């Protein structure tokens, strides 16, 4: 996983889901400690749309990678 994300990204469940549904997602990053009820639908959408999924260990780590001061359950690298 890159130290920080330099590509155009969107963080959070809703933004990730929107990007997947609209075909704008290049890659999805999911925090392993996020609740399964949040991550399972995203993983399913990634499988349907053929989008690569990567994982980081914690929501704190993902938030930092995205340049946020808050935790993030998921993020999407946009095309």
Q: What is the pLDDT along the chain (79 residues), one digit of tens a residue?
A: 444 455 788 999 999 999 999 999 999 999 999 999 999 999 999 999 999 999 999 999 999 988 889 999 999 999 9
Nearest CA-CA partner of 13 in 38, 40, 46: 38
Task: Please provide the distance, in angstroms rounded to a whole number, between the alpha carbons at the two ends of the chain.
Answer: 18
CATH of domain 9-78: 3.30.1330.30
Its pTM stands at: 0.87
Judge contact between 6 and 69, C-beta under 8 A. no
Domain extents in the chain: 9-78
Q: Report pLDDT for 6.
A: 57
- Contacts of residue 70, Cβ cutoff 8 Å, sequence gap at least 6: 63
Q: Report pLDDT for 20.
A: 95
């Amino acid at each position: 996983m890159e130290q920080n994300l330099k590509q155009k990204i969107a963080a959070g469940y809703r933004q990730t889901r929107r990007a997947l549904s609209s075909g704008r997602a290049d890659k999805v990053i999911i925090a392993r400690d996020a609740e399964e009820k949040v991550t399972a639908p995203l993983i399913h959408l990634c499988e349907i749309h053929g989008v690569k999924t990567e994982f980081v260990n914690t929501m704190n780590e993902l938030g930092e990678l995205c340049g946020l001061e808050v935790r993030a359950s998921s993020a999407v690298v946009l095309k």
